[in-house]
Amino acid sequence: MPVFLTACPRNCYSTCAMRVTVEDGRLRRIENVSENLATPEGPCLKGLSYVERAHSPDRITHPLVRSGQGFSEVTWDEALDRISASLTRIRQEHGPQALLYYTGSGTKGLLNACGLAFWRLFGGCTTAYGDLCWPAGLEATRLTLGANEHNAPWDLQNARLVVFWGKNAAETNVHQMAHLQAAIENGARVVVIDPRRTETAQRAGLILQPRPGTDGVIALAVAHLLFRGNLVDRDFLATHVLGAGAYEEMVREYTPERAAQIAEVPRRSIEKLAQLFGTVHPITIVPGFGMQRFTNSGQTMRSILALLALTGQIGKPGAGWMYANLQTAVFHPVKDPIDFYPPEKPDGVVRVGISTARLGRDMLALKDPALKAAWVERGNPIPQNPETPLVLEAFRKLEFRVVVEEFLTDTAREADVVLPAKNLFEQTDVIGAYWHPYLQIREKVLEPPPEVRPETEIYRSLGRRLGLSEDVLAAALPGPSDAAVEVWLEKKLEPFGLSLADLRKGPVLAPGAREVAFSDLRFPTPSGKIELISEEARTRWGLDELPRYTEPVESPKRSDRYPFHFLTPNTKNRIHSQFGNLETIRRMAPAPTAALHPEDAAALGVTEGTRIRIFNDRGELFLPAVLDWGLRRRCVCVPNGWWITDGGAVNVLSEGRETDMGFGAAFHDNMVAVEKAASA
């Protein structure tokens, strides 16, 4: 039976290598690839569920056109006629920028670039700036260190203090737990800082459960104690750090007493944390993405990262800031969140005119031209972007919508035409990662179902309909044959002395990748040093040059109308809104629930299984309660990714708000009230 090396392209830290066995056109088996030192154990349950997903009866395998309340299967000719007629009319009446080209994080790969190349040929389009995922943290890191790089995942074993700060690796990066285990066996101490006592926290010797959105003040108080106790590395500060003096001055006011009061954690825990930072080295901080989904979180991330600068814990084995490792992003001209900024000079073709965080609101408000059509690819914005009701309204107001999808998601259900998307086994591509430093091949191992076309071919056939010549299309789009796609990929690899044949042998370290990031202690910031004080924080974002603490916009300190924090983290058995529709996954997580602390539940007259109403000005959600002693009080937690059709779409409650820097989405800046549902 043929066996192939490939890799999982989902938006996940691990980006596992996998060996797949194919028989009679079906995926039979998925195994680990021990040569990938970051993920030697192989795929998680989601990865294994590909044997179901690739052949799922729910998969969209024909173009669909809306008819009445549902959809009918049509031929490609009919679908393309319909699309080209609508788009041509809209382009004629309103210009090409009346079309929104929206992409999400559904799959990694170099071929994703073909979409924008096509819309340029169309004459242009509108796109969104920002990103739902991680930009506040990326920007905070860029401002401080100059680049987003970190030590290789397996270097964690060299750390003696590991601080998981707002990351739940046991669910979102399972492979990291094996590297943590190695560190623990080498004697490492583990700290977890998270309002929830997560699975990751089971490995911790010290747990802090702060009020959501207040981590910054904890970090500032730790800095205060490090200076007070003379536990900072004065030599490192003098040589490699900008602004240490101003920082010392600034943190004077952040006493542990004050921080304990604001963050609502014991003062002694803050002191213990400072003592660990001051004495147990090397230190790796593993900051998560969950913590940077607040309106104050860029500054929060800067203040946490500062602790490594103060203690000289950067640029050596076992030390550093394991946020995002963009060492594999070698194919892009820029590797950093600058990718997410609207361009300084509009090019008149692609209008980068909408904030991803405010998708619905901005779609509705856009003028000259107003939006009339949308093309959605690799994303499920209706449940996943903030303010689901407004996103829905904005999509419904359009004249025409196309969604390219594998499954009939909440977003696909709003389309006029749904085009079937290829899956990860049906076209060869090259993928990077944002945790480990490997480039990997994502191999074509299956023929797509007869009526499924990869995006490259969708665009080619639409291009023909729109009257573009074969030459023009060939210059912009890889393909049409698999061999031609490979030639296109080879051209991308060639400048680095690499080929697909190399990647077929196993995961390849990205050119220039360093096992220990910043080992030369050179930082590509304006000053060449680690910047604790950042002019760009002020000039670009209008923020304080020092990361002083500010309350999140939605806070119990401002109003007690909605007393609960709404936490919507990621969960083990899904990647955002993907996988939840599969039998394999449903067996583990059949339906959405909302976690509450038992004492809060008791006060509300709620017991396990009681239907509760979670609500605020923006919307409401009805879910059965589950009681969790490990959750901080006054928090209610529902993992994101459930569909509207599952009854658990969490973004009906969030507001479309940007983070303080980087154009991220402040999903967790979200206060709600909870009550026993009337119908319960």
Ligand X SMILES: Nc1nc2c(c(=O)[nH]1)N[C@H]1C(S)=C(S)[C@@H](COP(=O)(O)OP(=O)(O)OC[C@H]3O[C@@H](n4cnc5c(=O)[nH]c(N)nc54)[C@H](O)[C@@H]3O)O[C@H]1N2
Q: Is 133 in the site for Mo ion (CB under 5 A)?
A: yes
Q: Return the number of the residue (103 or 527) whose C-beta is nearest ligand X.
A: 103
CB-closest chain residue to Mo ion: 133
Q: Are 191 and 162 in contact, with CB atoms under 8 Å apart?
A: yes
**Residue closer to Mo ion, measured from CB, 87 or 301:** 301
Q: Which of residues 638-667 bind ligand X (CB under 6 A)?
A: 640, 650-651, 654, 667
Q: Which of 525, 570, 610, 659: binder of ligand X (CB under 6 A)?
A: 570
Instruction: Report yes or no: 193 and 165 within 8 Å, Cβ to Cβ.
Output: yes
With CB cut-offs between 5 and 8 Å by kind, which of Mo ion, ligand X, none does residue 258 bind? none
Shortest distance (Å) from residue 289 CB to Mo ion: 6
Report the DSSP pairing between strands 671-676 and 611-616: antiparallel
Determine if 132 is a binding residue for ligand X (CB under 6 A): yes
Shortest Å distance, C-beta 271 to Mo ion: 34
Strands, sheet with 17-23, edge to edge from the N-terminal-most edge strand = 3-7, 17-23, 26-31
Give, as ranges, the residues between 293 and 322 that touch ligand X (CB under 6 A): 293
Nearest residue (CB) to ligand X, 502 versus 646: 646
Residue with tokens 């938006």: 11
Q: Are 447 and 426 in contact (CB under 8 A)?
A: yes
Q: What span, in angstroms and rounded, lies between the C-alpha atoms of 403 and 421? A: 9
Q: Name which position in 272, 492, 572, 676 contacts ligand X (CB under 6 A).
A: 572
Q: How far is the CB of 510 from ligand X (least distance, A)?
A: 20
Q: Positive or negative CA dihedral for 615, 618, 619, 623?
A: negative
Number of residues that bind Mo ion (CB under 5 A): 1
Nearest to 548 by CA among 271, 277, 250: 250
* Interacting partner of 406 out of Mo ion, ligand X, none (Cβ under 5 to 8 A depending on kind): ligand X
Partner from Mo ion, ligand X, none contacting 302, C-beta within 5 to 8 A by type? none
Alpha carbons 1 and 4: distance in angstroms, whole number:
10
Q: Which does 144 bind (CB under 5 to 8 A by kind): ligand X, Mo ion, none?
A: none
* 141 interacts with, out of Mo ion, ligand X, none, CB within 5 to 8 A per kind: none
Strand 161-165 relative to strand 125-129, pairing: unpaired
Binding of Mo ion by 493 (CB under 5 A): no
Select from Mo ion, ligand X, none the partner in contact with residue 577, using the beta carbon and a kind-dependent cut-off of 5 to 8 Å.
ligand X
3-state secondary structure of 30: strand
Of the candidates 158, 149, 216, 212, the one whose C-alpha atom is nearest the C-alpha of residue 186 is 158
Q: Which of these ranges, 67-75, 163-171, 438-446, 622-630, lies near ligand X under the rule CB under 6 A?
A: 163-171
Tell me the window of 244-252, 286-294, 330-338, 366-374 that interacts with ligand X (CB under 6 A).
286-294
Task: Output b/e per residue, 438-475; b: 16+ Cβ within 10 A.
Answer: bbbbbbbbbebbebbbbbbbbbbbbbeebebeeeebee
Sign of the torsion formed by the C-alpha atoms of 9, 14, 19 and 25:
negative
Determine if 288 is a binding residue for ligand X (CB under 6 A). Answer: yes
- Report the residue closest to ligand X, judged by CB: 290
Binder among 5, 7, 8, 12 for ligand X (CB under 6 A): 12
- Tokens 């800095």 belong to 223
Q: Rounded to the nearest whole angstrom, what is the least distance from the CB of residue 497 to ligand X in the complex?
A: 29
432 binds ligand X (CB under 6 A): no
Tokens 């040059």 -> residue: 545
For Mo ion, the closer of residues 104 and 648 by Cβ is 104
Angstrom distance (rounded) from CA 624 to CA 622 = 7
- Residue 433 touching Mo ion (CB under 5 A): no
Please choose, out of 63-71, 221-229, 263-271, 283-291, the segment that lies near ligand X by the rule CB under 6 A. 283-291
Residue selected from 102, 119, 277, 289 as contacting ligand X according to rule CB under 6 A: 289
Residues 292 and 213: their CA atoms lie apart, in Å, by 8
Region of 243-251, 350-358, 567-575, 607-615 interacting with ligand X (CB under 6 A): 567-575
Joined together, the tokens standing for residue 483 give 């061999």
Q: Least distance from C-beta 297 to ligand X, angstroms?
A: 8
- Helical packing angle, 297-310 and 135-145, nearest 10°: 40
Nearer to Mo ion, 227 or 434 (CB): 434
The alpha carbon of 270 is separated from its chain's Cα centroid by a whole number of angstroms, namely 29
Interface pick for ligand X out of 13, 247, 321, 340 (rule CB under 6 A): 13
Q: Are 657 and 669 spatial neighbours (Cβ–Cβ below 8 Å)?
A: yes
Under the binding rule (CB under 6 A), the answer on residue 213 touching ligand X is yes
- Binding residues for ligand X, rule CB under 6 A, total 61
Min CB(567)–ligand X separation in Å: 5
Using CB under 6 A as the binding rule, whether residue 105 contacts ligand X is answered as: yes
**Shortest Å distance, C-beta 534 to Mo ion:** 25
Could you write out the DSSP letters of every residue in 112-143? GGHHHHHHHHHT-EEEEES-SSSHHHHHHHHH
Binding test (CB under 6 A) with ligand X, winner from 91, 160, 316, 576: 576
Cβ atoms of residues 384 and 411 within 8 Å: no
Nearer to Mo ion, 80 or 324 (CB): 324
In the structure encoding, which two tokens stand for residue 669, read together? Answer: 């800046």
DSSP secondary structure, 181-224, as one string: HHHHHTT-EEEEE-SB--TGGGG-SEEE-PPTT-HHHHHHHHHH
Using H for helix, E for strand and C for coil, what is the string for 488-515? Answer: HHHHHHHHHCCCHHHHHHCCEECCCCCC
Q: Does 569 bind ligand X (CB under 6 A)?
A: yes
φ, ψ dihedrals at 9, nearest 5°: -95, 15
The stretch among 143-151, 361-369, 443-451, 564-572 that binds ligand X (CB under 6 A) is: 564-572
**Region binding ligand X by CB under 6 A among candidate stretches 25-33, 60-68, 132-140, 618-626:** 132-140
Strands 417-420 and 64-67 turn out to be antiparallel
CB-wise, 208 or 498, nearer to ligand X?
A: 208
* Amino acid (one-letter) located at 194: D
Give the residues lining the site for ligand X (CB under 6 A): 11-13, 104-107, 132-134, 165-168, 171-173, 193-196, 198, 210, 212-213, 215, 288-291, 293, 377-381, 384, 404-407, 409, 421-422, 567-572, 574-578, 640, 650-651, 654, 667-668
Give the residues lining the site for Mo ion (CB under 5 A): 133
